[in-house]
Amino acid sequence: MQAENQENRKSSEGAPARIMRGKVSAGKSEAQYYISKEGYKRQFRETLGFEPYPGTLNIKLEATFAFPGEKAILIKGFQDSNRVFGECQCYKIKLKGIEAAVVRPERSDYPDDLIEVIAPVNLRMALVLEDGDQVEVTLL
């Protein structure tokens, strides 16, 4: 467990909240394609309670973060036309007061210290964020 990046604070439910810190980072500009697929959008609406803006906010963490399995929300894979789309796990978070989720695709080459965040709004615009800006993410 990387204690330097997993602080314990009391959440509103009285359980320890887990904090991740990092810097906004440029992505590969591929997320829009995947997030826009109806097979994913429907499951995001049903399990997370929102339809995500078609894109992600990438955050390069200060240290790797061990996501607790009990908090994982499974998004099932599906087939669209002749292509198979893999499953992913989501984790509900809060970023500067906006409820969002970290998406961890099953098929991903992202390092453990890089997270992709989805939200019902364009986080870069809503929070006026640029590459290199420091952010704090709370795991709910």
Domains within the chain, CATH numbers bracketed:
7-139 (2.40.30.30)
Q: Positive or negative CA dihedral for 130, 96, 119, 31?
A: positive
Provide the token pair at 105: 């695709």
Provide the token pair at 58: 């990438």
Long-range contacts at 13-18 (CB < 8 A, ≥ 24 apart) = 17/138, 17/139, 17/140, 18/65, 18/68, 18/138, 18/139
pLDDT at 49 over 80: yes
Instruction: Categorize the per-residue pLDDT at 16 as very low, low, confident or very high, splitting at 50, 70 and 90.
Output: low
pLDDT on residue 29: 74
pLDDT in tens, 77-93: 999 888 999 999 999 99
Q: Which residue has the higher pLDDT, 85 or 7?
A: 85
85/71 Cα distance (integer angstroms): 22
